[in-house]
Structure 1
Amino acid sequence: MKKIRLTIPSLTLLLLLTNCDSAPQPHHKETKSEIVAAARQQIGKTVSYDPSYQSLSYPNGDIPLEAGVCTDVVIRALRTSHQLDLQKLVHEDMKANFSSYPKIWGLKGTDKNIDHRRVPNLQTYFKRMGYQLKLTDNPANYLAGDLVTCTVPPHLPHIMIVSSRTNATGTPLVIHNIGSGTREEDRLFEFKLTGHYRIPTNKKSPR
C-alpha cells in the first residue's frame, strides 16, 4: 500500500476542508438573552394583529395570546424574562408624571388598559428610566434583547426586540408583530429608527 505524505501546507488545507461544514456561519451566530427567548416563545402562538381597545385586568393584564400588537410582544417578553409588568410600571410612572408623557391622543388622565400598549409611552418610560442608547447604523451596537423603535410609513410608531440571531452579514434579526403575528425577521434597518433601549440585565422585579 502506497503511503501518502502530507506537507504542512497540505495538512493545514485538509484540516480546513474537513472542518468547513462545522464552522459557525454568521447567520447561525446566537447569544443568550432571556428577553429574546421569551419573545421567541410567542412565535406561532400570537398569529394576528389586533390594535383594538380592550379592557384589561390590573396588574398583569393582557389580551388573548393569539392576538396583539408590536408592544404586546415586548410586554409579554419582559413579564416572562424579567418579571417586569409594563402595564403597572408605565401606569404608576405616568400617573405620577403625567405632564412628561405624550398628549398625542388628547388624554386628560391615565388609562391602565392602553397606556403601556402605545409605543410613544414606552419610549418615554424607557428614556425616563435611563435605558436609552445612542442611535447608530452600526449593527454591532445592537445586542440581543435590546429594544428598538422606528416609524413605519406613513407615520406608524413601531417597536421591535433585537434577536440573538443575525443575517449572513452579521446584522441582527428582530422579533416583532408588524401585522401578521409575532415573527423573527431580517428588518432591523428597514425603517427609520427612532429609539434604542437596553434593559439592565439585573433589572428584575422580586418574585
Structure 2
Amino acid sequence: MRQGRWRPLLKIAALAVVAACAACSRAPQQPASSDASPAAQPAASSRDVAASPPLVAAARAQIGVTRLYDPAYVRLSYPGGDVAADRGVCTDVVIRALRTQGLDLQQAVHEDMRANFAAYPSNWRASAADRNIDHRRVPNLRRWFERQAWSLPVSDRAADYRPGDLVTWDLGRGVPHIGIVSDRKSYRGRPLILHNIARGTQEDDLLFDYTITGHYRPKLDRGTANVAR
C-alpha cells in the first residue's frame, strides 16, 4: 500500500490513540458500539496459518475477526483478560498473538509494574499499576520488552527484520504504534506488518513509512519471568 493512502488513516489513528490515553483517565466504560463495519481483509485460511511462524500465524488469524479499532477503557478479567474479539487497538494484536504462545502480557506487565513501578513511563500520571490498561499501552510494552532483553538495533535494512519481530513507531506528534513483522513481503521487497491502525487487524506495507522507535525479538523459549533491575 502506498504511503499516500495512509494519510487519512494516520489522522484517524492519531485521534483514536490520543482518545485511548484520555479514556484511561476517566471512569471505565464499555467499548462503544458501531453500526459501520470498516473494510476488512478476508480471514486467513488454515493453510496460510499453518505455513507461517507461530507468532505470525496467530496475528494473521485475527484478520477478519478483529474488525474495529476501539480504544475504550474496559475492565478486564485477570489473568488472561481481553476485550471483545471483534475490536481492539494496535497493542491487542500483539497481546493476543503472544498469548497463543504461552505469554500473557497482561499478567507479565502488571506483575513487573507492581514490583518496579518507577521503572515504567509516567505518561499518564498514574500512581499505581492498572491491570486493565497498562499492557495495552505501547510505551509500557516497550519498557517491558527492554527489561526482557528483547531489544535489537533499529535499522533501515529490510533484511534485519525477521518474521515474528515486534516493531514500534512514532506515527507523528508522539503518537505510538506497534505491529508484528510478517513472513510476506510487498512488491518493494519490504516485510509486511500485521497491525491495527484504524480498521481492525490488517497486513500492510508500512515498515519504513514512519519513524521506527523500537525493534524487538521475543525470546519465548527462555521463559517469561520478569526481569528485576
What residue is the counterpart of 2:71 in the other structure?
51
- Gaps (5+ residues) in structure 2? 1-50, 225-229
Instruction: Give the Cα–Cα distance (whole angstroms) in 2 for the partners of residues 84 and 93 of structure 1.
Output: 14
What residue is the counterpart of 2:92 in the other structure?
72
What residue is the counterpart of 2:61 in the other structure?
41
Equivalent position SS for 2:69 = coil
Instruction: Give the Cα–Cα distance (whole angstroms) in 1 for the partners of residues 173 and 108 of structure 2.
Output: 30
Partner of residue 178 from structure 1, selected from 185, 194, 197: 197
Partner of residue 116 from structure 2, selected from 92, 97, 102: 97
What percent of counterpart residues are identical? 53
Cα deviation for residue 155 of structure 1 reads 2.1
The one-letter amino acid paired with 1:84 is L
Q: Work out whether residues 61 and 87 of structure 1, in 8 Å CA contact, stay in contact via their aligned partners in 2.
A: yes
Cα deviation for residue 167 of structure 1 reads 1.4
Highest CA radius of gyration, 1 or 2?
1
- Gaps (5+ residues) in structure 1? 1-30
Equivalent position SS for 2:221 = coil
Query: What are the within-5 Å matches in structure 2 for residues 6-45 of structure 1?
Result: 32-45=52-65
Instruction: Give the Cα–Cα distance (whole angstroms) in 1 for the partners of residues 92 and 222 of structure 2.
Output: 19
What residue is the counterpart of 1:87 in the other structure?
106
Equivalent position SS for 1:107 = coil
Cα deviation for residue 41 of structure 1 reads 0.3
The one-letter amino acid paired with 1:159 is I
RMSD over aligned Cα atoms = 1.2
Instruction: Give the Cα–Cα distance (whole angstroms) in 2 for the partners of residues 204 and 165 of structure 1.
Output: 28
TM-score calculated relative to the size of structure 1 = 0.82
Misfit runs of 4+, over 2 Å: none
